[in-house]
Amino acid sequence: MSAAKKKILVFIDWYLPGFKAGGPIKSCSSMVQRLHDEFDFRIVTGNTDLNESVPYENIKSDEWNILEDKTPVFYCSAKSKNHASISKIIEEQMPDVVYLNSMFSPWFTLVPLMVSGKYKNKIKIVVAPRGMLSPGALALKPLKKKMFLHFAKLMRLFNKVTFHASTEIEVNEIKKVFGSKASIVHAINITPKTEIQKQIRTKTSQLTRLVYVGRISEVKNLLQCIHALSSINIGSSKIEFDIYGPVDEISYKQQCDEAIARLSQNIKVNFKGAIDNNAIKAILPGYHFLLLLTMNENYGHAIVESFTAGLPVIISNRTPWRQLENACRGWDLPLEDSSTISAALEKACLMDQQEYNKWSDAAYEFADSIHNNKKTLSDTIRLFEN
């Protein structure tokens, strides 16, 4: 008789069919998809997408739903986001592991952490900070985050947890906040099952199509992308820059609009709005490069999806994807060096077909190595071991 699968109770602010929260949903759903034969995953999440007030269609709030992939999901309404309701879920499920997919969420990190702590001899607690302990992330709304961490340390809430670090950089970020003795497992995020299909796209020095996929927010740094485009010298060559993602900060979007209005006429920028995760794969082959100068990226699903579509990337050096230029996969650039960013953009825009094919092939090859890395799966399984 085979042993019963361990029950993993996952708490996350947003989950499928949501998509506007981006990376965390992809990270979590990919983990569930790839490891469902190993573990019994059950998800507790909100019943609306990011910045939405209307519940998802075709779900029942405040009870368990079974998704198409057979995953049980409990969608909490606003009224059930309280200590009593979350305690009831944990006590009824009594999982082997509670997996917290955030750092600062009051209802999906703090409360489950407090409740699970009462059962520390029965329940293993795993916390995935998802890049929220990076210097860039901590600099946004710093007072609130400092108060949270001060309270958590005072209450010793994180003393018995295992941290899931997605990168070696994040290992050090966790140690800086919680000390060198913190229990940490390094496991890079799992990608969904993917079949890579090579496509050859036309590329001339006269037209370059750039794409941005991400929230319109300060941390994603769209404004610097626009400023960078205003400073390049590409003669009469044309650029089309399409932006996909929900508006997270209205005032920031207004700054972007003002910067776009000052661009030269040979640079066209289009806001395409939020896009479902499943649709990204279909639109990427229509572009030449991803442009995403994010201030901080714990993983960067849009970056991996771009490699998978054969797109070299123009990104910041604040992601796990480094040393790209020497391998012809793209550029990872210091945000403080505007001239280096301009030079990379100019090289990308003036690239001809033969050169572009070489870079695109390198992106495809890199994507294949990411998707078929068996160590990624084994490292994540190790997270949930005793």
In angstroms, rounded to a whole number, what is the distance separating the alpha carbons of residues 280 and 245? 11
Q: Give the pLDDT confidence of 96-150 residue by residue, as tens digits.
A: 999 999 999 999 999 999 999 888 789 999 999 998 898 878 887 889 898 889 8
Q: How confident is the model at residue 3 (pLDDT cuts 50, 70, 90)?
A: low
Predicted confidence at residue 353, as pLDDT, reads 96
Other beta carbons within 10 angstroms of residue 337's beta carbon come to 11
Q: How confident is the model at residue 1 (pLDDT cuts 50, 70, 90)?
A: very low
Whether the ω angle into residue 106 lies within 30 degrees of 0, i.e. cis, is no
Q: Give the pLDDT confidence of 10-37 residue by residue, as tens digits.
A: 999 999 999 988 888 999 999 999 999 9
In angstroms, rounded to a whole number, what is the distance separating the alpha carbons of residues 41 and 10? 7
Q: Give the pLDDT confidence of 316-373 residue by residue, as tens digits.
A: 999 989 999 999 999 999 999 999 999 999 999 999 999 999 999 999 999 999 988 8
**Nearest alpha carbon to residue 37 among 368, 381, 386:** 381
In angstroms, rounded to a whole number, what is the distance separating the alpha carbons of residues 296 and 137? 7
**Interior/surface letters 140-169, b for 16+ CB within 10 angstroms, e for the rest:** eeeeebeebbeebeeeebbeebbbbbbbeb
Which has more confidence, 3 or 231?
231
**Is residue 220 over pLDDT 90?**
yes
Predicted confidence at residue 28, as pLDDT, reads 94
In angstroms, rounded to a whole number, what is the distance separating the alpha carbons of residues 102 and 77? 19
In angstroms, rounded to a whole number, what is the distance separating the alpha carbons of residues 36 and 39? 5
Query: Which domains can be identified in the chain, with CATH numbers?
Result: 6-186 (3.40.50.2000), 207-371 (3.40.50.2000)
Q: How confident is the model at residue 159 (pLDDT cuts 50, 70, 90)?
A: confident
In angstroms, rounded to a whole number, what is the distance separating the alpha carbons of residues 219 and 231? 21
Q: Give the pLDDT confidence of 264-310 residue by residue, as tens digits.
A: 999 999 999 998 877 898 999 999 999 999 988 888 999 999 999 99
In angstroms, rounded to a whole number, what is the distance separating the alpha carbons of residues 211 and 286? 9
Its pTM stands at 0.86
For the chain, the residue count is 386
- DSSP-derived pairing of the beta strands 289-292 and 72-76: unpaired
Long-range contacts of 71-74 (CB under 8 A, 24+ apart): 71/32, 71/36, 71/41, 71/42, 71/43, 72/42, 72/43, 73/15, 73/16, 73/42, 73/43, 73/44, 73/45, 74/42, 74/43, 74/44, 74/45
Q: Give the pLDDT confidence of 36-85 residue by residue, as tens digits.
A: 999 999 999 999 999 899 999 999 999 999 999 999 999 999 999 999 99
**Is residue 2 over pLDDT 60?**
no
Q: Going edge to edge, which strands form the sheet with 267-273?
A: 267-273, 238-244, 207-213, 289-292, 313-316, 330-333
Q: How confident is the model at residue 4 (pLDDT cuts 50, 70, 90)?
A: confident
In angstroms, rounded to a whole number, what is the distance separating the alpha carbons of residues 138 and 45? 24
In angstroms, rounded to a whole number, what is the distance separating the alpha carbons of residues 214 and 243? 8
Nearby residues of 206 by Cβ (< 8 Å), 6 or more positions away:
236, 237, 238
What is the distance between the terminal CA atoms of the chain, rounded to a whole angstrom? Answer: 21
